[in-house]
Amino acid sequence: MRRAFFLALFATGLASLPVLADPPGLKPLAIGSPAPDFNLPGVDGKSHALKDFADAKVLVVAFTCNHCPTANAYEARFKKFVDDYKSKGVAFVAISPNDPQAVRLDELGYTDLDDSFEAMKVRAKDHAFNFPYLYDGDTQATSRAYGVLATPHIFIFDADRKLRYQGRFDDSEVKTVRSHDAINAVDAILAGSKVAVETTRVPGCSTKWADKREGARQWLAKADAEAVKLEAIDEAGVAKLVKNDSKGLLLVNLWATWCGPCVAELPELVEINRMYRGRGFKLATISLDEPEKRESALEMLKKNHVSATNFISTVESKDKLAEALDKEWPGPVPFTMIVAPGGKVIYRRSGPIDPLEVKRAIVGHMGRTY
pLDDT value at residue 175: 86
φ, ψ (nearest 5 deg) of residue 337: -140, 145
Query: What average pLDDT does the chain have?
Result: 94
13, part of any domain: no
Q: Does residue 132 share a domain with residue 101?
A: yes
Q: Does residue 304 share a domain with residue 351?
A: yes
Q: Does residue 196 share a domain with residue 133?
A: yes
Q: Does residue 146 share a domain with residue 234?
A: no
Q: Is the pLDDT of residue 1 over 50?
A: no
Q: Is the pLDDT of residue 17 over 80?
A: no
For 348-366, the pLDDT digits (tens) are 999 999 999 999 999 999 9
Q: Is the pLDDT of residue 180 over 50?
A: yes
**What is the span of the domain harbouring residue 102?**
21-208
- Residue 45 makes CB contacts below 8 A (sequence gap 6+) with none
Residue 70 to residue 79: CA distance in whole angstroms: 15
185, part of any domain: yes
Q: What angle do CA 95, 96, 101 make, to 5 degrees?
A: 160
Q: Does residue 257 share a domain with residue 153?
A: no
Q: Does residue 39 share a domain with residue 187?
A: yes
- The long-range contacts involving 349-358, CB below 8 angstroms and separated by at least 24 positions, are 351/261, 352/261, 352/264, 352/265, 353/265, 353/268, 353/269, 355/268, 355/271, 355/272, 356/112, 356/113, 356/122, 358/251, 358/272
Q: Band of the pLDDT at 13, cuts 50, 70, 90?
A: very low
For 198-243, the pLDDT digits (tens) are 999 999 999 999 999 999 999 999 999 999 999 999 999 999 999 9
Residue 248's closest CA among 336, 347, 342?
Answer: 342
Q: Which amino acid is residue 128, in one-letter code?
A: A
Q: Band of the pLDDT at 21, cuts 50, 70, 90?
A: low
What CATH number should be reported for the domain holding residue 313?
Answer: 3.40.30.10
Q: In the chain, how many domains are there? A: 2
